[in-house]
Amino acid sequence: MVRIRRAGRMRAMLRFSCVLLLAACAQVPAPTGGASDASAATTDDLRAAYRRPPAEWPQPTIDAGVAFVELGRLPKAVFPADNPWSKEKEALGRALFFDGRLSGTQQMSCASCHDSVLGWADGRTTSFGHGAQALARNAPSILNAVHGVHFFWDGRAASLEDQALAVFENEKEMATSGTAVVEKLASSRGYRAMFASAFGDDEPTMARTLAAIATFERMQQSDGSSAFDRFVGGDAAALDDAQLRGLHLFRTKARCVNCHHGPAFTDHGFHDVGLSYYGRKFEDLGRYRVTKDPADVGRFKTPSLRNVARTGPYMHNGLFDLPGLVNMYSAGMAVLQPKPEQRDDPLFPKKSPLLHKLDLSQGEKGDLIAFLEALSDRRRRVMAPELPALGDR
Ligand code: HEC
Ligand code: HEC
């Protein structure tokens, strides 16, 4: 029953998106690696231009007012002064991250929806919560969260510690309370020993629990093994021709770097790319829910694109695959038309002026996707550790 309702909901959402985007959904770009408009000679010129350090790459196509930061390798991660890294804290955080017994039903752990094999996301359109309740949004990856500034699609948490607290208390996610979690941990000899080595005494508190989970999350970082990172590091053969053309498109004609820039491929900002479903059944007002500023209606956090080929489906609502998404960007994304009664509505969302109609050829779309695939790190599987017994104290 639940499943049927979900399927109906998905079909309705997809149909609505396609109506909005008109022809965009119908076209599927050529498979990656297909010949693009750029001739072989142009690709050679590009190779010469991009062999230089990023600071000397061709001018990016960016609009006035965009605080552009060049793409590149990630800097060394910085841990907050009030929660520095330690091996013991990381080990405790890892156990907590994988421990389903901490949730209200004893069955849901952070790893249920953030799985290293699925790029630290869950591969679903929107996550499946407790009691088969669908969550409203798609699970983002926790990879490189150490470089993040705001958390959740609407940025409502300012740190990973705050973020984890919100999840424990969310009835569809961990469905529990700080008191219940601390009680369970305090009942465990094994956990008490882990708290003692991480914090100096064996008293589990919620603040320590959150600090440990955040430390584990901050250690999940890109390791410089992607084709893009190797290319920037001087391995000129790391990007094939399609990926190289894609890099150039990403920085120029396709205008992606207006928002996805810097080493993490995000401006850490919020933009309306036309997916708020304003005034419709699946409306999500995004950043507005946090700030109550009418300018923020329909704005969502610019996600990092590192490892993006592994974390589909995409966007806060999980409705798109990469080809569909590139088609939408090429069409300039959907423009919501106000209904007559919405003409004077101060909350009516305004699509970002940074989005233009791009008219990318099929080959160019394939090149862009090839470049996004060059952002994938070497595969890593992070396994659940052996968990301490509960209630043995
Ligand atoms: C039922 C699935 C589910 C569970 C369980 C879950 N999450 Fe999430 N997580 C999500 C979804 C969905 C979002 C996005 C929600 C939103 O933006 O409103 C999210 C967002 C996040 C983010 C923000 C990432 C970003 O870039 O904004 C982090 C970090 C995170 N979760 C960590 C955790 C931790 C730690 C736990 C365990 C304490 C956990 N999650 C448990 C589904 C889940
Ligand atoms: C105006 C700023 C802006 C521009 C320009 C832009 N993006 Fe985005 N991008 C965003 C935002 C904001 C989201 C999240 C939107 C949402 O969930 O509703 C996003 C989401 C994505 C996602 C989904 C990531 C995920 O984890 O779900 C991909 C892939 C992506 N963009 C690629 C691109 C490419 C390729 C281009 C250039 C053709 C581009 N973007 C141009 C702001 C932008």
- Kindly report, residue by residue over 71-106, the tens digit of the pLDDT: 999 999 999 999 999 999 999 999 999 999 999 989
Residue nearest to atom 1 of ligand 2 (CA): 354
| pLDDT range class, residue 23, cuts 50, 70, 90 | very low
Residue 370 has pLDDT above 70, yes or no: yes
Q: Is ligand 1 within 6 A of the CB of residue 285?
A: no
Residue nearest to atom 5 of ligand 2 (CA): 256
Residue 190 has pLDDT above 50, yes or no: yes
Q: Is ligand 2 within 6 A of the CB of residue 302?
A: yes
Task: Give the closest ligand to the alpha carbon of residue 61.
Answer: 2
What pLDDT sits at residue 7?
A: 46
* Exposure class string for 243-281: b at 16+ Cβ within 10 A, else e: bbbbbbbbbbbbbbbbbbbbbbbbbebbbbbbbbbbeee
Q: What is the pLDDT of residues 27-38, one digit of tens each?
A: 434 344 444 444
Q: How far is the CA of 265 from the centre of ligand 2 (A)?
A: 10
Q: Is ligand 2 within 6 A of the CB of residue 275?
A: yes
CB 128 within 8 A of CB 137: no
User: Picking from 246-250, 338-342, 364-368, which range would have the lowest pLDDT averaged per residue?
Assistant: 338-342
Residue 348 has pLDDT above 90, yes or no: yes
What pLDDT sits at residue 41?
A: 55
Residues of the chain with pLDDT > 90: what percent? 80
What pLDDT sits at residue 40?
A: 55
Most ligand 2 atoms within 8 A of CB, residue of 122, 260, 325, 359 to mutate = 260
The residues, any chain, with a CB within 8 Å of residue 383's CB and separated by 6 or more, are none
Q: How far is the CA of 317 from the centre of ligand 1 (A)?
A: 14
Task: Give the closest ligand to the alpha carbon of residue 144.
Answer: 1
Task: Give the closest ligand to the alpha carbon of residue 141.
Answer: 1
